[in-house]
Structure 1
Amino acid sequence: MKKRFLILILACLIHSCSKNDRGELIGVKSNKFFSDKPHGMILVPSGSFTMGPSNPSAVLDQNPSLKTVSVKAFYMDETEITNSEYRQFVNWVRDSVVRTELAVAAYYKIGEDNSEDDPLWDFMPVYSRPSDGEEKSAYQLYLEENGLGELDIENKTTYRLNWDVKIPWERSDYLDANYAAVLEGGIGPDLLEDYEGFFTPADSTPNGLRAFKTKRIKYNYRDFDSKNNKWSTFKEIEVYPDTTVWYKDFSYSYNEPMHNDYFWHDAYAEYPVVGVSWEQAKAFAHWRTFYKNQHQRKSRKNIQLVSDYRLPTETEWEYAARGGLERAEYPWGGPYTYDDKGCFLANFKPERGDYIADQILYTAEAESYWPNDYGLYNMSGNVSEWTDSNYEKAANDFVAGLNPTIEGSEENQLKVVRGGSWKDVAHFLKVSTRDYENKAKKRSYIGFRTVQSYLGEDVGFQENPNKIF
C-alpha cells in the first residue's frame, strides 16, 4: 500500500512539472535581456524636439520650415570614425581577400589529397563534413540527398576561411614559391593560373616601399529589404579611402603631405577618416555588425545578436547634435562660436581664407573641443558627416512626426550631410543647417559616425547616464 502511495505522489509530481502553467497564458520562457553599451558609443535618450532652424533665413537655410518630431533612443559613436578604426575595417577586408585567394589556390593545388604537409594546407577552405567512419547526421543526409552541403569553391557561402593561421607578409617568411606567386603575382610551380598579385612595386609608391594594391581591397555584402522581404544583389565596394581628395578638393594648393600620410601614418591615427563615400560608410557599418555578431556567436551559446550598426538618419543626427538643448543654434547651446575667453568652440574656417584662426589648419583629433550635453564630440565642425537620409529640400513639410527620414532611391543620389567641417564657415556648423552631397563622392572634409538602435524600454532624458551637468 505504501509503495502504491509513493508511486502516486511521484506521478503527480511529474505531471505538475510537465504542465506548470496550470492552463494559464504565461508566454514563452525567454532570457532576461540587458542592452550592452557598444564600445565607444553614447546613449542618446528618446525624446522630441523641434526640427529646423532657430533663426530661419530664406537666403541661407535650405529648409526654413519647423516641425516637432519624436525620436526613439539610440547609441551613437562618441566621435567621428577615426583613421585607426577605419584601418581595422580595411585590414580585415584586405586579409579576407588574400585568404580567399590562398584558399582557392590551396583547393586546386591540394584537391582531395588531404596533404597536410603542403605549405598551403592551413589556408584550405573550411567546410562541414563528417570524418572517416563518422556516422552522418540526419541533416547531413538531407543535404546529400538534395545535392547541397558540398564545397563549391566558386560559391563563398559553402565554405569558411581559416582565420586562425597568420598571413606571412614579409618576403623572407613566404611559405613556398606557390605562396609567393599568389601574393606577388605571376605563375607558381604547381598552380594553374597567372596570379595578379596584391602589391604595388616600391618604385611606384611615394615612400619607396611596396604597398598593397588598394583597388583590390573590396568588401562584398548584401542587404535585406524587410519591406519587400528579399535580399539585395551583392555589392562590391572598394573600401580604401580616396587620398587624392586632398588634391581634387583644392585646386592650385599644396596638400601633398596630407595625401601621402593622412590615412596611414600613426600621427593621424585618432583623426577622423575622410575620403570615404556614403557607400563606403554603409559598408563599414555592415562590416561592424557582422564582425560583432561573429564574436557573439563564438563567445557563448544562445546569445542574442546585436542590432545593426548603421548611419544615423538626418533627424537622429540633428536630435543628437542638440544634446537636449531645444532651439539651440550650436551643440554648445549659445549663438556664438567662441567662449567668454575668446577661444573657438569648434574646428571651422572663421574668416575667408583664414583657416588657422581657430589654431587648427586641417582636421583635429576626433576627441577635440568640449562634447555636447550628451557627451558627443565635434557634432559641429572638424568634418561634415554622412547621414542615411536622402536629400529633399522640403523634407520637413511631408516627413512623419515619428522617427522621420527619407529613404534612398535610384532616382535621387543626393544624401544629407550635416555638421559643417574644418573648411566651412560658421553657418554650416549650426545644428539645423542642411547640406548634401552625391553618395558616390569622396571629400577631404566629409567623414561619418555610426549609430545602433536601442532595444527594449525607452530611456528618457532624466535617466540618461551620459548627461553632463
Structure 2
Amino acid sequence: MKFKAILLVGLAALFASCSMFKKDGGGFSSKNASNSTGWEYNNPDNGGFQADADYAQFAGPGLKFIQGGTFTMGRVEQDVMYDWNNIPRRVTVASFYMDETEVANIDYREYLFWIQRVYPDSKEKYMEALPDTLVWREELAYNEPYLDNYLRHPAYSKYPVVGVSWEQASAYCKWRTDRVNEQLLVNRGVLAHDASQAGQNVFTTETYLAGMYEGTQGDKPVEDASGNARKIRWEDGILLPDYRLPTEAEWEYAAYGLIGNTDGELLTERKLYPWNGSYLRDDSRRDRGRLNANFVRGRGDMMGMAGALNDNADITAPVNSYNPNDFGLYCMAGNVNEWVADVYRPLSQEEVNEFQPFRGTVYTTYRRDDSGNLMRDEFGELLVDTVADYRNFEDGDYQSQIIEGQDWNAEKDKLNTDNMYIQSDGNDGSFTSLITDEIRVYKGGSWKDRPYWMVPGTRRYKDQKESANDLGFRCAMTRVGSPEGF
C-alpha cells in the first residue's frame, strides 16, 4: 500500500509539472512556439515573427536527388596517359541534386529566345550566349550540315547542346535559377508573368530578394502575421538555391551511382564505369549485347555496320538514351564530355578538403555605391567585387616555385599562378604548361572518345572560353538541410 501511495503521488507530480507548460495552465505552449522564449511563431500579438520549422526541400525541374556519402575519388585503372593527375583519395560529398540528362538543344534555344525577347537591342548579349557552331567544321570532313542544323533543327532538339564554353554554361545556370524561381512565385500567385520586363527591370533572384525588382504583382501575395502583404524573404523557403555546374567530386560521385553496390556501409563491388562490370555491353536478359554508352568502339567505327548499329549514334545521341545509372542519371559516360566547376590542377586531390572537395573558390561581395545602395549592370544583374581568390591556392607563393636565376626577395610579391606554371603565347615555339586560373576540368568521355575516357575518375581540361563539338554540360543544385531527411 505504501508503494502504491508513493507511485500515485509521483504520477500526480508528473502530470502537474506537465500542465505547467500548457497555455491554459499559465505556462508555455510547446506547439508552434520558440524553444528559446516560448513566444508563438506567426502571432501578431507578440510581433509576428514568422517561421517554418518543418521545411523540406523539393527538387527543381529536371533534377534528381543524389544522396551524399563517402567514396574513393580518382583513378581506378592504369593511368595510360601517365598524367598522375587523379590519384585516389577518399572524400565525402554532401547530398545534392543533379540534372537527369545533359542540357539539350531545346533547353538552350529557350535561353537564347528569352535573351532576344528581353534584350532585343543588345546583340552583344545574344552573341555572348550563342554556342559556337563552327566547332563542327573539320578541314578533311564534310560536317557543314551540322553547322546549320545541329543547334536549331527540331530533329536535334533532344540532343545535347555543344559548342558551349564553361563561361556560357555558367551563365545558363544563372539564367535557369532566375526563371525557375520566377515561375515558383507565379505559381503561388505572388507574381504574374511580365512579358514587358526589359533592361534593368528583369527578374533575378538576387534583385527580387533585395527589393529591386518592380514586377507585376499577383493576386495571392504572401502575408505577414497580421494579414498584410509583404515581400518574399529567403527565410520563407519558397525560392530554390542556385542551379550551378557540379563540382568535380559531385560529378564523379554521381556518375558512379554506388548506391546499387552497397550492403549497409560495405561497398561490395567497385565500379569501373557508371554500370556494373568491366564490359561495355549490357548483360541483362532484355538488352543483352546492347552498348551501354555512345563512344568510339575502334578506329573509324563510330556506330557499327548498317543493320547492326552498335550504339545507334553517329555523332551524339538524345540525352535520355541508353540505361540510366543507379541514381537515375543518363549518359554519365559517353555522348558528350561535361564541364565541371573546378579549376584544373594536376595535384588537386592531394590538397583539397576531405569534405566537399573543390578547387576554384572565389569569395565575392555585392558592390555598393557611396550611399550604400546595391549596384547593377544594364541587364539587371547585381555587380560583385572579389574579396578573395583561392583558385591558385599555394600555387603562386614564392616558396613553391623553383625558377633558376630569379631574385626571390625582389620578386616574391609579384609572383602568381602564371609564374608557377610556365606560360607561352604559342607563337615562339617555347614550352607551356597550359595551366592558368581559367583552365577548367571536364569529364565523362564522348561520342568521339575511346572507352578509357568514360571512366568517371579520368579528367581532362580546357580553357573556360573554349568549346568543342563533344563537350556539353548539366546543372546541379545544393541540398539544404539534412542529407536525406529525418
Q: For the superposition of Structure 1 and Structure 2, which TM-score range results when normalised by the shorter chain? A: 0.5 to 0.7
Answering whether residue 135 of structure 2 is matched by residue 245 of structure 1, we say yes
Aligned to 1:318: 252
Closer, same or farther: CA 432–26 of 1 in aligned 2, 3 Å: farther
Q: Is the 8 A contact 1:243 1:259 kept in 2?
A: yes
Contact 1:61 1:433 in 2 (8 A): no
The partner residue of 1:345 within 272, 289, 292 is: 292
1:444 corresponds, among 469, 473, 479, to 469
The aligned counterpart of 1:364 is: 317
Query: Where in structure 2 are the equivalents of 1:127-276 lying within 5 Å?
Result: 216-218=124-126, 238-247=128-137, 250-276=138-164
Give, in whole Å, the separation in 2 of the partners of 1:62 and 1:297: 48
Task: Quote the residue 1:36 is aligned against.
Answer: 58
Change (3 A) 1:242 1:381: same
Aligned residues between the structures: 315
Which of 91, 103, 116 in structure 2 is aligned with 1:94? 116
Structure 2 distance, partners of 1:401, 1:353, is 42
Following the alignment from structure 1 to structure 2, what is the Cα–Cα distance between the partners of residues 19 and 315?
A: 42
Aligned counterpart, 1:330:
273
Secondary structure at the counterpart of residue 354 of structure 2: coil
Q: Distance between the aligned counterparts of 1:356 and 1:22, measured in 2? A: 63
Partners of 1:380 and 1:430 within 8 A in 2: yes
Shift of 1:352: 1.4
Aligned residue in 2 for 1:377: 330
> What are the Cα deviations for residues 191-235 of structure 1, in whole angstroms up to 9, with x where unaligned?
xxxxxxx8xxxxxxxxxxxxxxxx5443xxxxxxxxxxxxxxxxx
Where in structure 1 do 4 or more consecutive aligned residues deviate above 3 Å?
A: 15-29, 58-62, 215-218, 408-411
AA aligned opposite 1:339: D
1:17–1:73 Cα change, 3 Å: closer
Identify unmatched segments of 5+ residues in structure 1: 1-11, 102-197, 199-214, 219-236, 464-469
**Alpha-carbon separation, structure 1, partners of 2:316 and 2:348:** 30
CA gap of 1:437–1:457, structure 2 versus 1, over 3 A, is same
Matched, 1:432 2:385: no
What SS does the corresponding residue of 2:323 show, helix, strand or coil? coil
**Which residue number in structure 2 is paired with residue 68 of structure 1?**
90
Per-residue Cα deviation, 1:403-430 (whole angstroms, up to 9, x for no partner): 0010046842210001010000000001
What corresponds to 2:442 in structure 1? 417
Give, in whole Å, the separation in 1 of the partners of 2:119 and 2:27: 57
1:292 aligns with 2:180: yes
Percent identity, aligned pairs only? 37
Q: Within 2, Cα distance between the matches of 1:446 and 1:84? A: 16
Measure, in 2, the Cα distance between the counterparts of 1:22 and 1:313: 37
Does the residue aligned with 1:276 lie in a helix, a strand or coil? coil
**TM-score, normalised on structure 1?**
0.62
Which whole-Å CA distance do the structure 2 matches of 1:419 and 1:60 have between them? 18
| Unmatched tracts of structure 2, length 5 or more | 1-22, 42-49, 191-221, 223-231, 262-266, 305-310, 361-390, 393-416, 418-435
Maintained 8 Å contact 2:30/2:38:
no
Instruction: Give 1:30's aligned amino acid.
Output: A
Match of 2:373 in 1: none
Q: Output the amino acid matched with 2:65.
A: L
